[in-house]
Structure 1
């Protein structure tokens, strides 16, 4: 899958194949998360030009003009997340867990928010399986993450993986 995705990204918007960003993982330790690039090359420098539609310590815009045509497809199908398996292999992430926040988000955390960093972040989790891009309130994401932590079991993780696959196949809640 790497070669067709690489060619599509390059033809749509020449530049790096991967996007790397610092995120906070277990106990707030920083790590570099990897994704296929789904935005234009200078997207981070243009973030201030896009309206944040989310509430709280996250950034969301369902019509973000920085997302490329191929990037929109990659996000809808969650193919942009495939490189995160490297993070799993390195032990920085898990298949299932909480959403990995950025350091800017963590700077604004209160004690309740910090609890979500008591487990490794995951490629999927409650937020991805039960809302994806439709959950735009940070406190709702925290509630989903804390619920995941309270209900954790291997069977629960397997259920979330299956639910995520169904959500992705149905293209439900993706931007």
Structure 2
């Protein structure tokens, strides 16, 4: 049964709509609420409880999948770190604030694939995408090791930590940045009804070739309509095929 509840109450009470979610500090919760109030003041702060957010089976799959994924991450972290320092010295990991379920802010983790300080150089790179996303197929900020990590999708592995914490799911919608959400039109808000995922419709349908923001939104909404545990498993297996054949990698 689909329920509609005040969005602020969902943010303030992480137990609602989530089976096993990480403990958030009061400061983190207030930051999310302040962001919502400041940026979404023209929108109705209400949200539908999507079935995927209360599925015990989906959460169990996420937990076991994340534990296995973190084991793989630990095994490759040292060689990746060494290669990274030889190519472009700096931190091994990169983090960024993203918007999760119902707009709750969280810090997403990846292996660093760009030079240090890349965000400050973004204005020097041409945006080949349309809408609220930024893409460049030959971004000069991407390092040689970073290019390999992106082609093989290995840069995404640290996100298994976000999955284990309950901030993300193995399968879900594309996790938007705060800047993207600030420019949302009304129909974009439905993307925030489910947890963002490491993979999803956009991942298995040529993520690097999709440069239209509205096309990504339509895929995310289509995933929500089709959602089931079986469909999640289908997308997981399809993701493995896409990664192994390097189709759509950026």
Shorter-chain TM-score above 0.5: yes
Residues 1:82 and 2:157 are matched in the alignment = yes
Of 106, 121, 124, the residue aligned with 2:199 is 124
Of 21, 33, 36, the residue aligned with 2:111 is 36
Match of 2:92 in 1: 17
Of 226, 233, 239, the residue aligned with 1:158 is 233
Contact 2:204 2:248 in 1 (8 A): no
**Structure ID, larger Rg:** 2
User: Any unmatched runs of 5+ in structure 2?
Assistant: 1-75
Alpha-carbon displacement from aligned partner over 1:2-31 (angstroms, at most 9, x marks no partner): 111111111110000000000000001110
CA distance in 1, matches of 2:187, 2:86: 44
| TM-score using structure 1 length | 0.99
| TM-score using structure 2 length | 0.69
CA RMSD of aligned residues (A): 0.6
Alpha-carbon displacement from aligned partner over 1:40-65 (angstroms, at most 9, x marks no partner): 00101000000000000100000000
Aligned length: 175
Residues 1:107 and 2:179 are matched in the alignment = no
User: Any unmatched runs of 5+ in structure 1?
Assistant: none
Partner SS for 1:167:
helix
Of 137, 144, 155, the residue aligned with 2:219 is 144
